[in-house]
Amino acid sequence: MAATGTETEDLLRQLAPQVLGALVRRYGHFDTSEDAVQEALLAAATQWPAEGVPGNPRGWLITVASRRLTDLLRAEQARQRREEAAARQLVPSQWLAPAADAGTAEGDDTLILLFLCCHPSLSPASQIALTLRAVGGLTTPEIARAFLVPDDTMTRRITRAKQAVKDSGVPFALPAAAERGQRQAAVLHVLYLIFNEGYAATSGPGLVRPDLSAEAIRLTRIVHRLLPQDGEVTGLLALMLLTEARRPARAGPGGEPVPMAEQDRSLWDANLIGEGVRLITGALRRRTPGPYQLQAAIAAVHDEAATAEATDWPQILALYELLLRVSESPVVALNHAVAVAMVRGPDAGLGLLARLEPDQRMAASHRFHAVRAHLLEMSGDREAARSAYLEAASRASASLPHQRYLHAQAARLTG
């Protein structure tokens, strides 16, 4: 059956981590396997739209990639007589597995690949880059553009990450039970960071990067399908959907950020809200709330309010107080201060901000000063609010939309 270019691209993106996982599990040698898979994907992208998608597209890709991998290994070890012997010399023994892979679920390969890309020996930046490259199927130039770095810089980052994984000698298998929780937490954190960068870009000319947030949601859906009973996986997916639902209303005509209280809620995506609410409701019934579940519950309360005035701030405050018990994040503390201000008045919120100010992470954040400005304005101190907006703008130089918005807020209070 013939397929359009878009259909082929979607299918290849879905199959890419499964094929790479199958090759790494069977042969090892992460970087060489990835090169072989990329060539198989290129061949499919060229042939399938014209000749039709094969009956077993995953098997077709594994066969083509395996042949290319064999060629690459033969080139590296030309003096070896047998291809398998060449592979075995290059592959750590703990990565070797029987050639047949029928006993391993396709989803297991994808999950193992995610664990591999989020190996604790890698920095968060390298974990993100390797996840987007190996599991997300993004090209190195695409990842470089997303994070505003030169192509060669991202190439070096990904190459070092692959080498670190290879040097670690970690087997291509799910982590032992003793470390699975830690490794899974790293996977979820990486997906969370990718989504956040897409939903609220930390730098660059745009307020959002929809391609990154969409990729984070796609990858989190994969993990959720593989671990449907895990409350934190469900919570993270719900959080992403409930947050993404508001994206159409987040920016004004000129690309400037629109605060949630001023957003046109008719633009919010009701389908994403409905799915997110169902997910988090089901997860919370298990009575094992973790940070992602609590954040999703807060997002659900916001999303279910028909107007800003109808927001159930006492419930949000109660959820933030629970979240503070399980997370020491300064961002959570900042959001808690906002909730306190909305329930108990701006002076109460400003008192909490004063306690956060010595934290250097907060002092350097434009958001801290923007929140302080907003609460000062709520309290009636327009001059102090204006100064705080200008301070926030000076610390938002990496994000042009936020900088312009904060200057406009300060100008509004002039005179």
How many whole angstroms separate alpha carbon 269 and alpha carbon 245?
A: 5
CA distance 318 to 304: 17
Whether pLDDT at 230 is above 70: yes
Across 140-164, average pLDDT? 82
**What pTM, to 2 d.p., does this model score?**
0.77
For residues 415 and 104, the model is more confident at: 415
Residue of higher predicted confidence among 243 and 91: 243
3 vs 340, residue with greater confidence: 340
Confidence of residue 4 (pLDDT cuts 50, 70, 90): low
Confidence of residue 208 (pLDDT cuts 50, 70, 90): confident
Contacts 24+ apart (CB under 8 A), 255-260: 255/206, 255/207, 255/401, 256/207, 256/401, 256/404, 256/405, 256/408, 257/207, 257/401, 257/402, 257/405, 260/302, 260/308
Work out the pLDDT band at 312, boundaries 50, 70, 90: very high
* Token pair of 211 as six digits: 């391609």
What residue type is 414 in one-letter code? T
Of 383, 380, 371, 375, give the one whose Cα is nearest residue 410: 383
Angle (CA) 367-211-112 rounded to 5° is: 100
Q: What is the pLDDT of residue 240?
A: 97
* Rounded Cα–Cα distance for residues 321 and 306 (Å): 24
The dihedrals phi and psi of 395, each to the nearest 5 degrees, come to -100, 5
Rounded Cα distance, 158 and 156, in Å: 6
State the Cα–Cα distance between residues 161 and 167, nearest whole angstrom: 10
Instruction: Tell me how crowded residue 119 is: count the other CB atoms within 10 A of its CB.
Output: 18
Q: Which residues pair with 204 in a beta bridge?
A: 399
* Residue of 85 and 218 predicted with greater confidence: 218
**Model pLDDT, residue 98:** 32
What would the mean pLDDT of 202-212 be, rounded to a whole number? 75
The residue whose two tokens read 């705080």 is 388
Fold of 320-415: 1.25.40
Does the pLDDT at position 295 exceed 50? yes
Confidence tier at 118 by pLDDT (50, 70, 90):
confident
Q: pLDDT above 90 covers what percent of the chain?
A: 39
Distance CA 43, CA 38 (A): 9
Confidence (pLDDT) at 130: 86
- 251-266 mean pLDDT: 91
Residue 217: its pLDDT value, please?
A: 92
Domain residue ranges of the chain, discontinuous segments joined by + = 5-93, 320-415
Q: Which residue has the higher pLDDT, 340 or 103?
A: 340
> pLDDT at position 96, please?
32
pLDDT value at residue 15: 85
Residue 84 predicted with pLDDT over 70: no
pLDDT tens track for 366-378: 999 999 999 999 9
Average pLDDT of every residue of the chain: 84
